[in-house]
Structure 1
Amino acid sequence: MANCQSGGTTMRKRWIFFCNICLLLTFVLPVFAQDDVFVPPLGWWDTCPTPQNLPDTIEIGAVLALSGPIAVYGDSQQAGIQLAIDEMNDFGYFGDGVRLNVVYRDSAATPEQTREIMTEFAEDETILAVIGPTLSTEAFQADPIAQDAGLVVLGVSNTAVGITDMGDYIFRNSLPEAVVIPGVLEQVLEYYDIEDVIMMYDGKDSFTRNGATIFRNALDNNDIRVILEYVFMTSDQNFVGHVPYLVRLQPDAFVVSALADEAILAINAIRDAGFTGPIIGGNGFNAPAILLQTDVNSEGIIAGAAWNRENPRNNDISDWFVENYQLAYMTQPDQFAAQAYTGAWLIGTAIRCADSTERSAIRDALAQIQNFESPLGLFSFDENRDPIHPPVAQIVRDGAYVVLTDATASE
């Protein structure tokens, strides 16, 4: 089992601290708190007093897919988490001299390894909470272990139905597909005349099967006919040979529920077969690798998302996040980084407000978070520990996701 424990080097943390100060002075309207000291524009600096009862070092765990076929998601998540941790530590969010460290573990997207990691975290009383795992499939296998141990888990990319049903210690800040897909389809129909579609989905993965079910129901609710459902299996590349036949059926759009590797194959095959209409996907379409490896074939694909920098609902906090992320990593953040960054701030805020290392106290504080200003917008947990904030529909134009509007739809 890979051990990727890291809290960032001292030099890197100093660099991010310097960058944060520069951004506060030049790009982002600063927020004042705690005797007029500059602090980041997110966080409950005034709502919850500075903790007085925390030890000098506190730890949380993160179980992420940092290797294997979906590392494109896990890498972004680790970057987002670490940026948030560095900011909270550098600005003293947990009190004078108190630092929060993250113990990273690589699940390699395998349920067995994820269970081993969660068991390790559950048995280690110094681990106050866990962020992850990356896939809903992993969460269904591992989260019950944390629930039994009374260990808070915050999923930052778990969108399948039933995640928070596993218990009152299980949270997520990632919008469920049941919210994203119908909302995005409704927006798509404002700009496109779609009557018939072909649906393709990965029948092996629980997340993509769940997505297909939600798509099926949303299409039916909008009186859209599914000409044919084509089911393929994870890692099976042979399905691309059947795509030209599917294109010849002349659908108005393709609907695809797949993770990154299979989504790339499907998009390229559909475009190479001559289809120029909309290709609509769920959260699995949001990995940067999809745009890189589909190149011009990505033009016009549509996906639901929890975050897009160009979303008109975004705020100064989203700008703060993007600028800091670019300075730290020399690349643009994606939705997975934004959700992980927000998730780390949510866990940090629960620890600050609880002012305790008791897992139950942290759980209670996390459940009480309402109207938290974040890159995702104004964020709250509902009574089932699911997120409350609206989705955004986005379309690829010139190799990048932009918000779906009348103008971008007609390009």
Structure 2
Amino acid sequence: MWTRLWVPVLALAVLSHAGPAGPAARAAQSQPVKVGLAVGITGDISVYGDPIRNGFLLAFRQINERGAVRIDPILEDTGGGRDGAINVFQKLIQRDQVAAILGPVLSSQAFGADPLAVQAGVPVVGVSNTAKGIPEIGATVFRVSAPEVLQIPKSVAVAKQVLNLQRVVVLYDNADDFTVSGYRTFAEELQKNGIQVADTITFARGDSDFSAQLTKAKAASPQAIVVSALAREGTLLLIQARNLGITVPFIGGNGFNDTNIITRAGAAAEGLIVGTAWVPSAPTAVNLRFYDAYRDQYKKEPNQFAAQAYAGAQVVAEAVRRAGLTGAEDIGTQRSKIAEALKTIKSIETPLGRIGFTATRDVDQPRTYVAVVRGGRFIELTPPK
């Protein structure tokens, strides 16, 4: 499945606080630049893919309506598997001849598909890949999603202070690259913070009955349960834990950063603690405009993944602007110029706050958050002063 959406218009406002542009960068585009959107909008990761797609399309619509650059976004559904992402990357690179790719949704998909883009010289910007080692895949791989090695330490430290944590049980999905990476970071941080791990229990993506794991976890009498999981399994764990009479808080990885988990788990999600790159209440002008535009367009609240997708679209469009592309260049030139321009982005205002890229092409995001579910929504959690 693929969709091409382009609105040809003029002026630039979404690219706020953009860097200086030379005469070439101010040249009018004769043709739109094609950007591939590799998003899982079917299968078990659609809870992530839907808001990511929405964030991309909202940003590019605004960029095309207001901008001095014109983007032709080509949407492809990867599904939830590694093979689907590989097939989509092959189509975008070879058939559609895109100049850059945004996506895929999962880190496990990125480890499989991103090397194809690196080999072809296509810049890739990950907006939801938080596992360790993503930028190291290759010289054209970037990400705007704060990695779990930065988020988890903060969430563990805050949870320790708020909950006076001394003893936890850890549950993790041992069949996915992202969740295994998250587990390893959690294990390191719990040890650093002197928090005892009473038990470590595994499950696999696709499991539905967690009664055995949760019964074992309950027997260990933890003060909290730490979980590295994707949204589907995470939601089921929350619901089944409460049904078994487990009342202690859950501390989740990035897979829990989705308001759909709150919707589906209901009261079972209350008290869930997560590290997050975005909160709705961040009081910047760009974030408030994004939040209002998203709600107006889609009739629901955005989440972290929508905000990161929007930011990813912003940086790609800014790279096109800085590269001075007209859209008439050969595809190899477009790809190399965008890759080089991405490296120059050090500070751009997005819904995530000011972000840029480090020398290793990872995101530089000075402000991140810890959130807790209270009253059916994520709010910022801060330790007592």
- Both proteins in one fold, TM over 0.5: yes
Query: How big is the shift at 1:222?
Result: 0.4
Query: How big is the shift at 1:342?
Result: 0.4
> Counterparts of 2:169 and 2:236 in 1: how far apart (Å)?
16
CA contact (8 A) 2:14 2:63 kept: no
> Counterparts of 1:297 and 1:395 in 2: how far apart (Å)?
13
> Counterparts of 1:299 and 1:231 in 2: how far apart (Å)?
23
- The equivalent residue for 1:79 is 54
Query: How big is the shift at 1:318?
Result: 0.5
Matched residue type, 2:61 = D
Matched residue type, 2:342 = L
Confirm whether residue 392 of structure 1 aligns to residue 361 of structure 2: no
> Counterparts of 1:253 and 1:181 in 2: how far apart (Å)?
15
> Counterparts of 1:168 and 1:242 in 2: how far apart (Å)?
41
What does 1:2-401 correspond to in 2, within 5 Å? 3-7=1-5, 40=13, 42-44=15-17, 47-48=20-21, 51-52=26-27, 54-94=29-69, 99-124=70-95, 126-311=97-282, 314-356=283-325, 357=329, 358-389=334-365, 390-401=367-378
Query: How big is the shift at 1:53?
Result: 5.5
Query: How big is the shift at 1:56?
Result: 2.3
CA RMSD after TM alignment: 2.0
Unpaired runs of at least 5, structure 2? none
Query: How big is the shift at 1:44?
Result: 4.7
Query: How big is the shift at 1:148?
Result: 0.5
Query: How big is the shift at 1:42?
Result: 4.0
Query: How big is the shift at 1:345?
Result: 0.6
Query: How big is the shift at 1:125?
Result: 6.9
Matched residue type, 1:365 = A
> Counterparts of 1:262 and 1:184 in 2: how far apart (Å)?
20
Q: Secondary structure at the match of 1:361?
A: helix
> Counterparts of 1:239 and 1:276 in 2: how far apart (Å)?
16
Query: How big is the shift at 1:70?
Result: 0.6
CA contact (8 A) 1:42 1:317 kept: no
> Counterparts of 1:172 and 1:84 in 2: how far apart (Å)?
17
> Counterparts of 2:270 and 2:148 in 1: how far apart (Å)?
23
CA contact (8 A) 2:174 2:204 kept: yes
CA contact (8 A) 2:210 2:240 kept: no
Matched residue type, 2:65 = D
Q: Secondary structure at the match of 1:255?
A: strand
> Counterparts of 1:124 and 1:352 in 2: how far apart (Å)?
24
Matched residue type, 1:85 = F
Identity of aligned residues (%): 33
Query: How big is the shift at 1:405?
Result: 2.7
> Counterparts of 2:261 and 2:96 in 1: how far apart (Å)?
39
Matched residue type, 1:47 = P
CA contact (8 A) 2:14 2:59 kept: no
Query: How big is the shift at 1:186?
Result: 1.4
Query: How big is the shift at 1:119?
Result: 1.5
Q: Secondary structure at the match of 1:191?
A: helix
> Counterparts of 2:97 and 2:181 in 1: how far apart (Å)?
35
CA contact (8 A) 2:107 2:131 kept: yes
CA contact (8 A) 1:65 1:108 kept: yes
> Counterparts of 1:77 and 1:166 in 2: how far apart (Å)?
22
CA contact (8 A) 1:184 1:391 kept: no
Q: What whole-Å deviation, never above 9, does each CA across 1:275-302 have from its counterpart, x for those lacking one?
A: 2222100110012221111101111000
Unpaired runs of at least 5, structure 1? 18-33
- The equivalent residue for 1:29 is none
CA contact (8 A) 1:200 1:232 kept: yes
Q: Secondary structure at the match of 2:44?
A: coil
CA contact (8 A) 2:254 2:275 kept: yes
- The equivalent residue for 1:405 is 382
Runs of 4+ in 1 over 4 A off after TM superposition: none
